[in-house]
Amino acid sequence: MREIIFDTETTGLDSREDRIIEIGGVELVNRFPSGRFIHFYIHPGDRQIHPEAQAVHGISIADLQGKPRFAEIAEEFLAFTDGAKLIAHNAGFDMGFVNQELARLGMDPIAPDRVIDTLAIARRKHPMGPNSLDALCRRYGVDNSRRTKHGALLDSELLAEVYIELVGGKQAALGLEIVEAVVETTTEVDVTIVLSQRPKPLAPRLRDTERAAHARMIESLGDAAIWKRVLAQPAETLPAE
């Protein structure tokens, strides 16, 4: 099972007008990092970066000089993600931008059934929140000390660790390994067990005062009491201890 954890950084919040300026993704195979990743800085053409957006990700137009346009990296991105589930935090935002970029190129959008939103998963699992990526890193002990600014590849790497915790992937994988493990042995061993008598019998567990209290309790019962019928039986018919 292939899954691509990905993230985008953009010039602003409106996918109809704003553009992707960074995209990164890491591959999971059976919920384990494969070591494969994809990462691009992308020039937004004539679209300027909103100051509020730049304050979040720290990417300026000057940083993007000489970088490819989305049209130049689209095929590589689609090839890397082909056949895999796409996983993002607040996926509707990222997929809105990706599909808008594809639409500008006359390409088909990525189908919604290929997309998993970790924010939705986190809100179901932790309804009291908070469920930002930073909050989830703290909750699951994922080290995000390098995250002073948003960055698509770094955020993808952090989200991959969070996602595995969210869906219990480590435990599931461990269980799979245990189920598939087969141990064979061809050695036969004859074992003889010998029961020996105690050199000294154990002391009685009941004290005389307890036995007397029990006898008085039985005397207080009616003639139909089970205890009286049991005690009336010969000792050889009583069950062995």
Binning pLDDT at 50, 70 and 90, where does residue 196 land? low
Does any domain span residue 121? Answer: yes
Does 231 or 161 have the greater pLDDT score?
161
| pTM greater than 0.95 (yes/no) | no
With a CB cutoff of 8 Å and minimum separation 6, the contacts of 18 are: 10, 11, 12, 44, 47, 50, 53, 97
> How many structural domains is the chain composed of?
1
220 occurs within a structural domain:
no
- pLDDT, tens digit, for every residue of 110-135? 999 999 999 999 999 999 999 999 99
pLDDT score at 207 = 72
Predicted confidence band of residue 198 (pLDDT cuts 50, 70, 90): low
State mean pLDDT over 154-165.
Answer: 94
Q: Is residue 157 part of a domain?
A: yes
Q: Is 150 an annotated catalytic residue?
A: yes
pLDDT grade for 210, boundaries at 50, 70 and 90: confident
**Whether residue 241 has pLDDT greater than 60:** no
* Domain harbouring 116, CATH code: 3.30.420.10
- pLDDT tops 70 at residue 44: yes
Q: Is residue 131 part of a domain?
A: yes
Give dist(CA 144, CA 155) in Å, integer: 9
CA torsion through residues 154, 158, 164, 166, sign: negative
Reading across the β-sheet that carries 20-29, which strands appear in turn?
Answer: 32-41, 20-29, 2-10, 85-88, 115-117
In a domain, 231, yes or no: no
* Host domain of residue 91: 2-174
Q: Name, in order, each residue with C-beta under 8 angstroms of 101's C-beta and a sequence gap of 6 or more.
A: 19, 20, 70, 74
Q: Is the pLDDT score of 39 beyond 80? A: yes
Cis peptide leading into residue 51 (ω within 30°): no
Residue 190 lies in a domain: no
219 in any annotated domain: no
Establish if 124 belongs to a structural domain.
yes
Of the candidates 120, 110, 54, the one whose C-alpha atom is nearest the C-alpha of residue 89 is: 120
- Active-site pick, 39, 126, 150, 214: 150
